[in-house]
């Protein structure tokens, strides 16, 4: 198993120490580990809507009641968390953001530690989606795009599969919730591990959908404020064969340059 690293070893230790501190002070919220935090910030970074830190930080610690030991500790933790978020955001905007785990199907099905880590990461990712439910829901289908129904079907399937994984993960760590769903039909361990082995495809579906939504938003802005984009084009001297500034991934001459 390989992992794309967005943090230095020092920053990894800072997060580990921080979560130990949160646990010791009974201050854990929805996100209870560094691995869950990574999935959580990953999901926030790809959401095609601005979510201010003042909103998503509450998923990590209670911003109203939690007290840091010192100003130094606060700045160290805050800069590490924001640095990770900004790394994800930059990579997404540059079309370079990928699911951070590389593994074989056999590893996902047989490696228990990998199985647990993937569950934790996906749980954090899942929690982030509920910060903007309307964007990831059926109501947010891109009507203006060709094959919009097909794209919406893809994200709906991805969300359904992710929900199955998270349901089993939560039941495995929370006895109270497990008893509430005692009568629900469960996937057996083999099927669940097969599902986990496709985690990269599930997350990629969200990335693609998010990018399509973001591209649509940019195109609408170009239509509503063409003068701003004309000024930007002149400033950057966009060539006909350069990537279009709207973020579509197409050459300028085959996208906004057609106008």
pLDDT tens track for 110-166 = 999 999 999 999 999 999 999 998 888 644 433 444 444 455 678 888 999 999 999
Rounded distance between C-alpha atoms, residue 247 and residue 252, angstroms: 10
pLDDT score for 50:
86
Mean pLDDT of 158-182: 76
pLDDT higher than 80, residue 185: no
Q: Assess contact for 99 and 122: CB atoms under 8 A.
A: no
If you ran DSSP here, which 8-state letter would residue 243 be given?
B
Q: What is the pLDDT of residue 224?
A: 80
> In the prediction, which pLDDT does 141 show?
39
Give me the pLDDT at residue 46, please.
96
- Res 238: pLDDT: 67
Identify the sign of the CA torsion 14, 100, 243, 246: negative
Chain mean pLDDT for the chain: 83
Residues with Cβ within 8 Å of 56's Cβ and at least 6 positions away in sequence, in order, are: 40, 44, 128, 131
Question: In terms of DSSP H, where are the helices of the chain?
Answer: 9-24, 34-46, 53-56, 71-93, 105-110, 112-129, 133-136, 148-173, 175-180, 189-196, 199-224, 226-236
Is the pLDDT score of 190 beyond 70?
yes
Instruction: Assign 251 to helix, strand or coil.
Output: strand
- From start to end of 66-224, where are the E strands? 101-102
- The torsion region of residue 242 among left (phi > 0), alpha (psi -120 to 50) and beta comes to beta
pLDDT digits (tens, 9 = 90+) for 72-94: 999 999 999 999 999 999 999 99
**Nearest C-alpha neighbor of 126 from the set 168, 172, 186, 175:** 168
What per-residue confidence (pLDDT) applies to 165? 93
128, 42 Cβ separation under 8 angstroms: yes
Q: Is 80 exceeded by the pLDDT of residue 254? A: no
Mean pLDDT of 34-41: 98
pLDDT given for residue 216 in this prediction:
84
**Whole-structure pTM value:** 0.80
């Amino acid at each position: 198993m390989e992992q794309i690293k967005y943090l230095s070893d020092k920053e990894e230790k800072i997060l580990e120490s921080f979560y130990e501190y949160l646990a010791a002070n009974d201050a854990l919220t929805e996100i209870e580990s560094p691995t869950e935090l990574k999935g959580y910030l990953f999901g926030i970074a790809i959401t095609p809507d601005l979510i201010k830190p003042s909103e998503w930080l509450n998923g990590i610690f209670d911003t109203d009641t939690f007290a840091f030991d010192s100003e130094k500790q606060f700045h160290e933790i805050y800069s590490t968390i924001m640095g990770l978020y900004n790394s994800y955001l930059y990579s997404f905007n540059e079309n370079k953001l990928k699911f951070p785990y590389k593994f074989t199907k056999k590893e996902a099905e047989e490696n228990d530690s990998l199985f647990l880590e993937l569950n934790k990461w996906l749980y954090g990712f899942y929690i982030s989606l509920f910060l903007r439910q309307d964007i990831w829901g059926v109501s947010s289908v891109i009507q203006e795009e060709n094959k919009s129904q097909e794209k919406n079907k893809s994200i709906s399937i991805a969300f359904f599969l992710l929900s199955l994984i998270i349901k089993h993960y939560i039941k495995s760590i929370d006895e109270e919730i497990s008893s509430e769903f005692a009568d629900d039909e469960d996937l057996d361990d083999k099927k669940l591990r097969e599902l986990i082995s496709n985690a990269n495809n599930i997350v990629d579906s969200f990335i693609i959908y998010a990018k399509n939504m973001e591209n649509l938003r940019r195109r609408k802005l170009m239509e509503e404020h063409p003068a701003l984009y004309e000024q930007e084009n002149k400033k950057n001297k966009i060539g006909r064969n350069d990537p279009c500034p709207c973020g579509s991934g197409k050459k300028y001459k085959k996208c906004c340059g057609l106008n």
